[in-house]
Amino acid sequence: MEYKVWVVDDEPMSLRVVKLELLKRLKADPVFRNVPVIFLTGDEDVKSETIGLNAGAADFIRKPFAAEVMLKRVHNTIELNRLHNDMAREIKMQTEKLSRAYIQIVQALAASVDAKDRYTHGHSSRVAAYSREIARRAGLSEAEQDSIYMMGLLHDVGKIGIQDAIINKTGRLTDEEYAEIKTHPVVGYEILRNIEDYPELMVGARWHHERYDGGGYPDGLAGDDIPEVARIIAVADTYDAMTSNRSYRKALSQEVVRAEIENCKGSQFDPRFADVMLEMIDEDTSFSMREGD
């Protein structure tokens, strides 16, 4: 790289440009970005010092300097950098600890919801896993995949408010009982909307029973008006419902499930995510994507 040389009072200033460029490269390199950089300079320009500090320099030592002073400032810089790195590691460790605790709490809550239905085992976990895989194959980012996994775990949290007798009823539901079942998306939404730090959690809970053709509930949304994550969870939820034993029937065969998803493309399901689910089914030649025996 060619550098411009500035001359002021017959003193070449190219070193300032070279130093700043080197500093920028060091801070952009993952290997060296945390190494403190101290400028030794004869430059009296305060603007240069400000630019250097903003670029990531730890300190400026002006020439001429006393050796004892320089050693002390280098020592202080090293100690400050060590303290900063220790704090960063501690913050990272505590953040990871909180994240694990958060996931464990969500998993425990999901398990408590699933426990209300004595005929299903791990429904929420499977829906979460299927949703994440659909999201991955559909090109969503890793952060979006993690988010939809958490939404999948809690998509049925509103069933906490539904009577156990209705959830476990073996016969046909009455109109009144079905109306109560249909309240669980709104109940889940009201529960999760209070979690201000994770507002996305309520999305899957409220809209996973919407239909692509607008015939779903609770809001009768259609097409792209339904949040993308809810359209993904809807496919995963229905797939797991069909491949699991229920109070009123045994799990359906893979062939029947595939045909149902194919038939419901564009009506119940977003065709894009239905096709991803069909792809997953076709790859699952051992029919492992289902409730365990």
Burial of 282 per CB tally in 10 Å (0-12, 13-18, 19+): exposed
Would 24 be classed as within a structural domain?
yes
Same domain membership, residue 136 and residue 45:
no
Q: Is the dihedral of CA 206, 268, 257, 274 positive or negative?
A: negative
Would 84 be classed as within a structural domain?
no
**Confidence (pLDDT) at 9:** 28
Same domain membership, residue 95 and residue 58:
no
List, for residues 72-124, the tens digit of each pLDDT value.
Answer: 887 888 888 788 888 888 888 887 887 787 788 888 888 888 888 766 678 99
Would 76 be classed as within a structural domain?
no
Q: Which residue, 30, 48, 65, sits at the end of a domain?
A: 65
Q: What Cα–Cα distance (Å) separates residue 130 from each residue in 166, 168, 188?
A: 26, 24, 20
159 a catalytic residue: yes
Parallel, antiparallel, or unpaired for β 7-8 and 11-12? antiparallel
Tell me the mean pLDDT in the region 185-204.
Answer: 91
Range from 75-79, 146-150, 224-228 carrying the lowest mean pLDDT = 75-79
The CATH number for 246's domain is: 1.10.3210.10
* Token reading at 12: 């070449």
Same domain membership, residue 59 and residue 187:
no
CA atoms within 13 A on the CB side of 215: 7
Tell me the mean pLDDT in the region 155-174.
Answer: 89
Average pLDDT, the chain: 84
**Confidence (pLDDT) at 12:** 46
Same domain membership, residue 115 and residue 152:
yes
Residues contacting residue 89 through CB under 8 Å, at least 6 positions apart: none
Q: Is the dihedral of CA 49, 50, 53, 58 positive or negative?
A: positive
Domain tally for the chain? 2
Higher pLDDT: 165 or 118? It is 165
Please name the residue ranges forming H helices in the chain.
Answer: 14-28, 46-55, 67-114, 123-137, 142-153, 164-167, 175-181, 184-192, 201-207, 228-242, 254-263, 271-283
d(CA 150, CA 106): 7
**Confidence (pLDDT) at 16:** 58
What is the radius of gyration, based on Cα positions, of the chain?
30
Same domain membership, residue 193 and residue 229:
yes
Same domain membership, residue 139 and residue 263:
yes
Question: Could you tell me if 276 and 289 are in contact, meaning their C-beta atoms sit under 8 angstroms apart?
Answer: no
Nearest Cα to Cα of residue 216 among 276, 273, 267, 287: 267
Nearest Cα to Cα of residue 201 among 211, 192, 188, 213: 192
Would 15 be classed as within a structural domain?
yes
Nearest Cα to Cα of residue 275 among 244, 237, 243, 232: 232
**Confidence (pLDDT) at 85:** 81
d(CA 274, CA 232): 8
Would 289 be classed as within a structural domain?
no
Same domain membership, residue 167 and residue 51:
no
Same domain membership, residue 278 and residue 179:
yes
Strand partners, 265: 269
The domain in which residue 273 lies consists of 90-283
Q: Which residue, 49, 65, 81, sits at the end of a domain?
A: 65
Would 205 be classed as within a structural domain?
yes
The CATH number for 55's domain is: 3.40.50.2300
List, for residues 1-60, the tens digit of each pLDDT value.
Answer: 333 322 222 334 455 566 677 777 777 778 777 778 777 777 666 776 777 777 777 777
Exactly one of 159, 169, 250, 265 is catalytic; which is it? 159
Same domain membership, residue 210 and residue 131:
yes
Same domain membership, residue 228 and residue 97:
yes
Would 75 be classed as within a structural domain?
no
Would 1 be classed as within a structural domain?
no
Same domain membership, residue 95 and residue 43:
no
For tokens 């053709």, the residue is: 213
Whole-prediction pTM: 0.71
Q: Which residue, 65, 81, 113, sits at the end of a domain?
A: 65
Same domain membership, residue 275 and residue 232:
yes
